Amino acid sequence: MLGFKIIVQDRPTTRRGILSIVSSIYDPLGLVSPFILPARILLQSLWQQGSGWDRPIEGAGLQVWHKWLSGLPKLESFSVARCYKPKHFGEVLSCQVHNFSDASEQGYGMVSYLRLVNKRGEIHCSILLGKSRVAPLKKVTIPRMELTAATLSVRMNEKLKRELDYNIDKSYFWTDSMSVLRYITNETTRFHTFVSNRVSTIREGSEVSQWRYINTKLNPADDASRGLIITDFIKCKRWVTGPDFLWSPESEWPENQVVLERIHDEDPEVKKLSNVVLIDEQSSFMSSLISRFSSWMSLKRTVGWILTGKRNLQHWANLRKQVRESISADVDPKKQEQLVDDKMRKMRSRVNLKSASLDIDILQEAERCIVTYVQRRHFQDELDILLKGLHITIA
């Protein structure tokens, strides 16, 4: 048998003293996790209250600690069988690992059991390990906590498969959270990073078919997530041997409810798709240009230079067309393009670009372009009415 030898040391009722006593309980397999969790929750609450390491605790915290400490010696009456397979059990035909997970506002946890079936159809279940962790200081929703517990369950199952000498036929994962089951079975919806990363871990370490639903009242991991006082813990047969249905044939297990409705878009964990608005390149460019200037004159001059560049490009394009038409069609096409390039190069060399400046006409045209763009963007309905009623054509 595996049991506990408890020697209650005399420690001050401070954070340091409480931590010393709680840490002195050697429980690498987490067999008494439900009993230790309330003490860890107390330590976290003292830290949140800003209590110093050596400052004596008072009030409700002191009562909780005295109650927990008084039950600590009774832990010696708790024990579990060291051997997973009972004596005279015979040859094992089926070996399964069942992992249960749960979460609450106080914490989250998991517990795993080994289920053996022999030739005579006899069933025996043993606790393998348990994990119980305090809820993070940063507030997390219960569905996220449940998903974190499920992720922990998958990781512990991987460790058990590596360490156990038995040939595991199949692993099962049980949870009372319908949200977790929906996240795991999802194939299309995109989630936020927190959920997405944990679902990815779960899917890598397990198959959807391995996940099953269990009612909260039957879930032994509920003890790991909420904690138990010593009297309830010692009497808790379910924690050591697993829920009663594990001792029955699979046909008598709780009905599987993994087949679920799709995840609603209103679910806070669903990643909202960005609305993409398509606009023409000219509008996009003009909007970006306007947002860069705080001076009206600077904006007009910039638009004026753009219009000047546009006019120049159109001017040179027309000249290139005229030069090409002036060359005889009998000339070889490659030579024809070379002649065009030579003539255009000579024409550009005569133009003094440094002397270019903005005249009043260009600035006025730039002002009209800006005003027209803004009117079309913000008063399109009014412009449509004017155009329809007065047959006005806006340049």
In 3D space, the residue among 101, 252, 226 whose CA is nearest the CA of residue 174 turns out to be 101
From 51, 62, 70, 54, select the one nearest 20 (Cα to Cα): 54
Examine the pLDDT at 11 and tell me if it is beyond 60.
yes
Cα 208 to Cα 212: distance, rounded to the nearest angstrom? 9
The CA distance from 354 to 88, in Å, is 104
Question: What kind and span of H or E run contains 158?
Answer: helix 142-163
The predicted model gives 290-302 an average pLDDT of 84
Q: Which residue has the higher pLDDT, 273 or 268?
A: 268
pLDDT of residue 111: 97
Backbone φ and ψ of 5, nearest 5°: -105, 115
Flag whether pLDDT at 335 surpasses 60: yes
% pLDDT > 70, the chain? 88
Q: Can you say whether the dihedral through the CA atoms of 250, 254, 255, 258 is positive or negative? A: negative
Give the Cα separation of 231 and 192 in Å (integer).
42
Give the separation between CA 170 and CA 202, rounded to whole angstroms: 16
Residues 32-49: what's their mean pLDDT? Answer: 94
What mean pLDDT value characterizes the chain? 85
275 has pLDDT over 60 = no
Question: What is the mean pLDDT of the segment spanning 178-207?
Answer: 86
- Higher-confidence residue of 391 and 7: namely 7
Which residues make Cβ contacts (< 8 Å) with residue 335, sequence separation at least 6?
none
The model scores a pTM over 0.85: no
- Judged against a pLDDT cut of 50, whether residue 277 lies above it is answered with no
Q: Using alpha carbons, select from 225, 150, 141 the residue that is nearest to residue 184.
A: 150
pLDDT at 395: 46
Beta carbons within 10 angstroms of residue 38's beta carbon:
23
Tokens in use for 197?
A: 């990363």
The 3-state DSSP composition of the chain as helix, strand, coil percent (nearest 5) reads 55, 15, 35
Residue 171 has pLDDT above 50, yes or no: yes
- Of 108-117, 214-223, 248-257, least confident by mean pLDDT is 248-257
User: Does position 189 have pLDDT exceeding 60, yes or no?
Assistant: yes
Q: How far is CA 54 from CA 45, 48, 68, 179, in A?
A: 15, 15, 20, 43
> What would the mean pLDDT of 22-42 be, rounded to a whole number?
94
Please report, in angstroms and rounded to a whole number, the separation of the first and last CA atoms in the chain.
94
Q: Per-residue pLDDT tens for 109-165?
A: 999 999 999 999 999 999 999 999 999 988 889 999 999 999 999 999 999 999 998
Instruction: State yes or no: pLDDT of 386 exceeds 70.
Output: yes
Residue of 179, 203, 198, 172 lying closest to 99 (CA atoms)? 172
Nearest partner of 127 among 113, 109, 111, 110, judged by Cα: 113
What share of the chain in percent tops pLDDT 90? 49
Q: Given this model, what pLDDT does residue 300 score?
A: 86
Cα–chain-centroid distance for residue 212? 22
Asked if residue 315 has pLDDT above 90, the reply is no
Confidence of residue 304 (pLDDT cuts 50, 70, 90): confident
pLDDT of residue 352: 57
Q: Per-residue pLDDT averaged across 177-192, rounded?
A: 83
- Tell me the CB-side half-sphere exposure of residue 36, using CA atoms within 13 A: 22
pLDDT in tens, 350-382: 665 555 678 888 888 888 888 888 888 888 777
59-71 and 33-48 are packed helices; what angle lies between their axes, rounded to 10 degrees?
Answer: 160
Residue 342: what pLDDT? 77
Residue 389's pLDDT band (boundaries 50, 70, 90)? low
| Tokens linked to 313 | 């490009």
Tokens at 366, concatenated = 């730039």
Residues 132, 165: contact at Cβ < 8 Å?
Answer: no
pLDDT tens digit sequence for 63-79: 999 999 999 999 999 99
CB < 8 Å & 24+ apart, contacts of 89-94:
89/116, 89/118, 89/122, 89/124, 90/118, 90/119, 90/120, 91/118, 91/119, 92/116, 92/117, 92/118, 92/166, 93/117, 93/118, 93/119, 94/169
